[in-house]
């Protein structure tokens, strides 16, 4: 029978079996830590970016298929109601409908626009959406990449729809 290892021996053994590249990350003097610090500073600076110009919003809309998502996304961008619409597949939705729990595979649309256009975006989505009660949820954008946010505002400035 093998003797039991002490806690210290187990700890030392676990580090002895680690690949060298992972052990390097354990040392605060390594460049990996400097890289983490630099990335965290960049993320902090981006989060602290204040939004100048028009207020912006991001909307979430679920759709039953990619085709419906493409149709709605195209109409919003072409009509300058949205600067960009991401179509994310593989969303699993569990919800209550008419007293019964429903489960569906859906796609998620992430829509970036000016806050003043949210009612117009919601109306356009409802007009094109096959659901009786489509999900349209708007969230304010409080900061981010200044150049990206300026682009969103620029793309949605001259509404034609």
Tens digits of residue pLDDT in 78-93 = 999 999 999 999 999 9
pTM of the model: 0.68
Percent of the chain having pLDDT more than 70? 65
The answer on 70 and 13 residing in a single domain is no
The answer on 92 and 142 residing in a single domain is yes
Q: Would 2 be classed as within a structural domain? A: no
- Given a cut of 50, whether residue 161 has pLDDT beyond it is no
Query: What is the domain count for the chain?
Result: 2
The answer on 141 and 72 residing in a single domain is yes
- Given a cut of 90, whether residue 99 has pLDDT beyond it is yes
Looking at residue 71, which CATH number applies to its domain? 3.30.70.120
* Domain that residue 94 falls in: 56-155
User: Long-range contacts made by residues 126-132, C-beta under 8 angstroms, separation at least 24?
Assistant: 128/68, 128/71, 128/72, 128/75, 129/61, 129/63, 129/68, 129/72, 130/64, 130/68, 131/64
Q: What is the mean pLDDT of residues 28-52?
A: 59
Between CA 155 and CA 161 the distance in angstroms is 13
């Amino acid at each position: 029978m093998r003797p039991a290892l002490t806690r210290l021996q187990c700890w030392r053994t676990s580090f002895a079996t680690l690949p060298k590249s992972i052990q390097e990350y354990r040392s605060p003097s390594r460049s990996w830590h400097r890289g983490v610090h630099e990335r965290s500073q960049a993320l902090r600076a981006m989060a602290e970016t204040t939004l100048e110009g028009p207020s912006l919003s991001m909307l979430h809309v679920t759709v039953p298929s990619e085709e419906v998502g493409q149709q709605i996304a195209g109409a919003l961008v072409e009509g300058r109601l949205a600067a960009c619409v991401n179509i994310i597949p593989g969303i699993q939705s569990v919800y209550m409908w008419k007293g019964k729990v429903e489960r569906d595979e859906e796609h998620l649309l992430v829509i970036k626009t000016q806050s003043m256009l949210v009612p117009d975006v919601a109306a356009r989505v409802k007009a094109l959406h096959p659901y009786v009660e489509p999900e349209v949820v708007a969230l304010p954008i409080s900061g981010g990449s200044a150049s990206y946010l300026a682009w969103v505002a620029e793309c949605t400035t001259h509404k034609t729809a």
